[in-house]
Amino acid sequence: MTLHSALAATEFIDHHSPEVRDFVRDALPASATTPTERAVALYYAVRDGIHYEVYGADLSREGLRASHVVRTGSGMCLHKSVLYTAGLRSLGIPARLVLTDVRNHLASERLKRLLGGDVFHQHGLTSVRLEDRWVKATPVFNKTLCRLYRMAPLDFDGSADSLHHPFDLKGRRQMEFLRVHGEFDDLPYEWLIADLRAAHPGLFQDGQDGSRDRLARGSLVGEAV
């Protein structure tokens, strides 16, 4: 992997698309002039401007493209990390996708039953190159959802890793990283989907056309109240 490959437009990180470019333009205040300031502003635009939802998530090739995430305004960790990576690259900031397995991923009791436990495979985040070093950022769980699940929102200042919520607001352990699969210049789609289907078969829902690209219907917000 090179810095050049961490800036390239790809199938999923389609930062050349008008949707991504418009999203980035609207996300950046005039005061954000340095790469770090722009990366931080974009982080919050993705974290709070794109609704986090596992239920009904579109895991088709089209559904996981950054441009499609902008159009729908919703997605799970993979969608939001793909969009953040694309937005960074559109600004000339090198970025890669990071894929991990975690325990205690933000989940309702019903979602845990569908997952088959409290381990979530293929949790996505982003590695970004700022001031000659790589830092990790997770613009995933928006403020509203964090409040409903009694978690502090995960912040990012561009200088330190922003990886996970180690404890909730009551001091209980919230998330634990179990495995880091690696960093990727583009989404390794076939392998990722195969792993998700093997690890969480109950999470997938058959479509009317026989496809299994969407996750089960529901609402994390509804299950939190």
User: Could you report the per-residue pLDDT of 50-81, keeping only the tens digit for each?
Assistant: 999 999 999 999 999 999 999 999 999 999 99
Predicted local distance difference test score (pLDDT) of residue 208:
53
Bin 25: left if φ > 0, else alpha if -120 < ψ < 50, else beta: alpha
Percentage of residues in the chain having pLDDT higher than 70: 91
Q: Answer yes or no: is pLDDT of 124 > 90.
A: yes
What's the whole-model pTM score? 0.94
